[in-house]
Structure 1
Amino acid sequence: MERVNKIIIMLENGQHNEALTEYNVVLKSGLPDEKFLLSEEMYQYGFLDEAKALVENLLETFPEEGELLVLLGEILVEAGNDEEAILVLEKISEHDANFGQSLLLLADLYQVQGLYEVCERKLLKAKEILPEEVIIDFALGELYSEQGEIAKALEAYERVLKEENEIAGVNINQRIADLISASGMFEDALVYYEKAINEKLDINTLFGYAFTALQAGYYQTAIGRFRELKELDPEYHSLYLHLALAYEREGDLENSFLTIQEGIKQDEFNKELFLFGGKIAVKLGKVEEGEKYLREAIALDPGFIEAALTLNELFFQQERYEDVIELITQLDIKEDEEPQLLWDSAVSYQKLENFSYALDKYESAYTFFKKNQTFLHDYGYFLIEEGKTDRAAEIFKQMLIEDPTNEEYMDLLGRLTGLKD
């Protein structure tokens, strides 16, 4: 194996040309053991074509050798030739000692292609052959998790936990915690997050723990974990909005707003931070600052409907109807795509005594809000003011269907029909 060791030293020293010269000698006249060892080394160093040539050379002499076929399959996968790799791996006999390994590789390839049933069959067959291999249970957990089969995934991960806490760099307790949290079982997930954190302090695990605590309503726990994460990595942008929300849920609006300000310094293009900051500022009585934040959110995304509706609500509270109209005309949102804008426009034009425009908007909005009692109330009284008693009567008849004991509507409808008589 002296020549192989010599080539390895050359590769480690960056003498690639010299190494390839010696490689060609081994390829042409080397012993089978030399070729196999060198193929593994060339594969590890990223010389995929050279490794492939060595293995194919050996397969001419040992065409059914499973270890060679598995290595060739791995090389082909690394080179992105998945279809060719499948053809190679499917050649391995069930009686070959490497059959189980081939099944695992095939399962990975079929999962990538979205052929989940085939992948599952390969993994279950591998489990029959290698019942003690926890990597197969892990692979099954990953497969079932991807398919959304929560119970099966958890069962597989729990089998892994009996043997290992970590597989392929993945913290199994975190995997289980993430899965349980995503399924809405937040309190159960916290137990696993606690174990995962105790095993290894990882910022993503810490975020998952804090976020799940927030979802479960354990706001103080969430605040503590988010703050711990912020100290570890202040550039972890996702934490700020959720930490601010946790403070808000605890009634600590000042710290909520301060957290938003910190977050914006880290991520000045995050429209969600500006939206939430605007809402909190208004709650704190900082109305002008709240308006500024909401306008900034819309500037970042002119189609940001939640920010637009929140700002409109503020304008309505301040009776700034012209600002409502101006904002709606500036948005990159069509009114029929967000019907609330039609309703907002109708009310604003009505308040501004631009009745023809108001009528047009009310009629357009009616298509979307014909079952909404509050809208029908606004629309009905507007029609009365405009002298459109027939149409107003139709609206109040419709409202009485939903609220048949409403005396105000019955009395009003009586007067409207009396006017007609």
Structure 2
Amino acid sequence: MSYSEDTVDFLHQGDLIGMQNSLAKALKNDNSEMLADLAEYLQMMGFIDESQKIYDQIMSEDPETTDYLINLAEIAEDNGNLDEALNYLYQIPVNDENYIAALVKIADLYQFEGDFETAISKLEEARELSDSPLITFALAESYFEQGDYSAAITEYAKLSERKILHETKISIYQRIGDSYAQLGNFENAISFLEKSLEFDEKPETLYKIALLYGETHNETRAIANFKRLEKMDVEFLNYELAYAQTLEANQEFEAALEMAKKGMKKNPNAVPLLHFASKISFKLKDKAAAERYLMDALNLPELHDETVFLLANLYFNEEDFEAVINLEELLEDEHLLAKWLFAGAHKALENDSEAASLYEELIQTNLSENPEFLEDYIDFLKEIGQISKTEPIIEQYLELVPDDENMRNLLTDLKNNY
């Protein structure tokens, strides 16, 4: 038995001291082929320094060889030294048998750095030198990662689903489906994703198909795919909210609420589910439950200000304006719609000073482009007798809603009488 084999045995036994001692003997006694196999194995097992040491010795004994430069580049990459990795790879000449593999690795490194243009040029050069489908696949993946989905589809379409799935565990049909989805072509996306299920039935793919059917307003098929998903082992996949939203779109409110509750059993602190359950409870006229779900969400940090807004909106619709105002101090960041509700609550309670302060603040924000807000502000100014201040607000409103004759008549009256 060689010292290289002894080194592996010590590693399997967990005897790291024995491994190091045997490695030292291997470096002195074993031939380059044995050492190369050992270096590759140690690299695979995560013993990067030991692997580097072996490769350095091999290269010092045979500096002309290029057989291990890609391995050294991978080690440099693992250590975060991308420039060093590229330096190793660029040492491999064009006429070398390792040149194509080096081009693919160079492309991978440039892609990692976000330089897709260089990565793609290297892969195109590699494809000119080789008809390997894996190079075409790498090129398609680079286009996909870059977001050039049309180009990605063109390259993926040249490949065999079965062969690439066997080699890479990645479905070409799924990638094409994902690309079409990104391009907004949901019908083609569904078609290819459904094809991918014939070769590789993944719950994630079923989930995507269900979502896409929802996007095309085909709730019946979306629900059918969600039901199929339910029968699989998908504890890791938080699909319940999307399923519940599809049931809501299909006017199945009770079923939607039950699905939300199922999701909350899995994750009681899922704030989006609590928000959804509150909304559906309100639709089912269970206002106490709607409030309770939001109060539960209020104790959680996620989406805190959105929870404040939703609770304020609930109270506002119930005309409990005092309850709305009591939430004002809970707002942590800028939430314009929540502040608008607070302004409206102060307005309803005739807290004119507080309401005026909020309206004056909000008119300086994006709400100045919201016709409903402008109309509300105009109404408030009229209520407190500051009609002359409404003129510029009315003009803003009419820029957005030029066909509102009532507002145009009001502006005419203002100009004639004030």
Alignment TM-score > 0.5, same fold: yes
CA gap 1:64/1:340 in 2 versus in 1, 3 angstroms: same
How many residue pairs get matched? 416
Q: Structure 2: how far apart are the matches of 1:406 and 1:108? A: 59
> What letter is aligned with 1:161?
S
**TM-score of the pair, normalised by structure 2:** 0.89
Report if the CA contact (8 A) 2:3-2:25 is conserved.
no
Q: Give the secondary-structure state (helix, strand or coil) at the position aligned to 2:97.
A: coil
> What letter is aligned with 2:158?
R
1:327 Cα offset (Å): 1.6
Report if the CA contact (8 A) 1:237-1:263 is conserved.
no
Q: Tell me what 1:150 maps to.
A: 149
Q: Tell me what 1:390 maps to.
A: 388
1:419 Cα offset (Å): 6.0
> Is residue 346 of structure 2 the alignment partner of residue 349 of structure 1?
yes
1:412 Cα offset (Å): 4.8
How big is the alpha-carbon RMSD for the aligned residues of Structure 1 and Structure 2?
2.7
Report if the CA contact (8 A) 2:162-2:199 is conserved.
no
Q: Give the secondary-structure state (helix, strand or coil) at the position aligned to 1:259.
A: helix
> What letter is aligned with 1:311?
L
> Is residue 109 of structure 2 the alignment partner of residue 116 of structure 1?
no
1:209 Cα offset (Å): 2.1
**Greater Cα offset, 220-229 or 117-126:** 220-229
> What letter is aligned with 2:128?
E
Q: Which runs of 5+ in 1 are unaligned?
A: none
1:279 Cα offset (Å): 0.9
**Greater Cα offset, 251-260 or 408-417:** 408-417
CA gap 1:300/1:86 in 2 versus in 1, 3 angstroms: same
Q: Tell me what 1:60 maps to.
A: 60
Q: Tell me what 2:335 maps to.
A: 338
Q: Any residues of structure 2 matched to 1:282-321 within 5 Å, and which?
A: 282-301=282-301, 304-321=304-321
CA gap 1:353/1:222 in 2 versus in 1, 3 angstroms: same
Describe the superposition over 1:58-87 as per-residue Cα deviations: whole angstroms up to 9, x where unpaired.
222321212122232233334443332221
Q: Any residues of structure 2 matched to 1:158-307 within 5 Å, and which?
A: 158-161=157-160, 164-166=163-165, 167-301=167-301, 304-307=304-307
Q: Give the secondary-structure state (helix, strand or coil) at the position aligned to 1:350.
A: helix
Describe the superposition over 1:281-329 as per-residue Cα deviations: whole angstroms up to 9, x where unpaired.
1111111111222233333247544444333332222111111111222
Q: Give the secondary-structure state (helix, strand or coil) at the position aligned to 1:358.
A: helix
Q: Give the secondary-structure state (helix, strand or coil) at the position aligned to 1:238.
A: coil
Q: Structure 1: how far apart are the matches of 2:40 and 2:355? A: 77
Report if the CA contact (8 A) 2:134-2:164 is conserved.
no
Q: Tell me what 1:96 maps to.
A: 96
**Greater Cα offset, 243-252 or 306-315:** 306-315
> What letter is aligned with 2:389?
R
CA gap 1:64/1:155 in 2 versus in 1, 3 angstroms: farther
Q: Which runs of 5+ in 2 are unaligned?
A: none
CA gap 1:396/1:211 in 2 versus in 1, 3 angstroms: closer
Identity level (%): 29
Describe the superposition over 1:208-257 as per-residue Cα deviations: whole angstroms up to 9, x where unpaired.
22222222222222222223323323523520100001101111001000
Report if the CA contact (8 A) 1:230-1:236 is conserved.
no
Report if the CA contact (8 A) 2:149-2:182 is conserved.
no
Report if the CA contact (8 A) 1:237-1:266 is conserved.
no
Describe the superposition over 1:93-149 as per-residue Cα deviations: whole angstroms up to 9, x where unpaired.
111111111111221112112222222222112112222x12212211221111111
Q: Structure 2: how far apart are the matches of 1:149 and 1:62? A: 43
Q: Structure 2: how far apart are the matches of 1:229 and 1:298? A: 31
Q: Tell me what 2:137 maps to.
A: 138
**TM-score of the pair, normalised by structure 1:** 0.88
Q: Structure 2: how far apart are the matches of 1:24 and 1:347? A: 80
Q: Structure 1: how far apart are the matches of 2:206 and 2:261? A: 22
CA gap 1:414/1:56 in 2 versus in 1, 3 angstroms: closer
Report if the CA contact (8 A) 1:302-1:332 is conserved.
no
CA gap 1:316/1:203 in 2 versus in 1, 3 angstroms: same
Q: Structure 2: how far apart are the matches of 1:401 and 1:206? A: 47
